[in-house]
Structure 1
Amino acid sequence: MNIFIGSLPYSVKDSDLQGFFEEYGEVSSARVITDKFSGRSKGYGFVEMQDEAAAKKAIEELNGAELEGRTIVVNQAHERTENSGRERRSYNSQRGGNGQRRGGYNQNHENRRNENTEE
């Protein structure tokens, strides 16, 4: 069973997470999610446990527990769907616009206004 852990202290590493959950059973994997550019923790992670009963007990007992001074959130992870989370938009998406990014000050507008008043 895959378990989601949220509100993690930024100092927690994969090995810390694994050790925290091993009290409840064998941990197949433990991963703290990090920013791909900075490498800094995003404050959440996932633990995979093979034994479903052990995983449920860990969820029940650790949800709301304190880890390094923070109250963590522990739930069963949901499978990611293709469009889960934020929808990524391209400039040519069907959500409006024509793919061009325009804006700012238009000097031609000022010139046209001056031409119209000179008559």
Structure 2
Amino acid sequence: MTIYVGNLSTSVTEKAIESLFRGYGVLEQLMLPREQETGRAHGYAFVNLNNGEDEEKAVRLLDATEWMGRCLYVVKATPRISIKLRQDNAS
């Protein structure tokens, strides 16, 4: 499962996110999109841990917690194709 982490500060770093998830398991993958021109983070990230149970625990315990002065939005990521299919079916 991929975890979506939203409402991050634009000044957040990969190291800070690694530190945040360190207590929940082994971080396998981290994607922190950045603006090309400024290098600032877009305010969200995608995280994969090495264990599904650890990922579920991280989502449950980190969602709606305050970190770096912001209330985190932490959920199971939805693949883009699923989002598009839902939008197409709604019309």
TM-score interval, smaller chain: 0.7 to 0.9
Higher relative contact order (CA 8 A, sep 6+): 2
| Aligned residue number for residue 12 of structure 1 | 12
Runs of 4+ residues deviating >3 angstroms: none
Rate the CA distance shift 1:24–1:35 in 2: closer, same or farther, 3 A.
same
Alpha-carbon contact 1:9-1:43 (below 8 Å) kept:
yes
Whole-Å separation in 1 of the counterparts to 2:39 and 2:81: 25
Whole-Å separation in 2 of the counterparts to 1:65 and 1:31: 20
Flag structure 2 segments of 5+ consecutive residues without an equivalent.
85-91
Larger Rg over CA atoms: 1
Structure with greater proportional helix content: 2
- TM-score, scaled to structure 1: 0.65
Aligned residues: 84
Alpha-carbon contact 1:15-1:30 (below 8 Å) kept:
no
Equivalent positions of 1:16-55 (< 5 A) are: 16-55=16-55
- State the identity %: 29
- TM-score, scaled to structure 2: 0.83
| Aligned residue number for residue 59 of structure 1 | 59
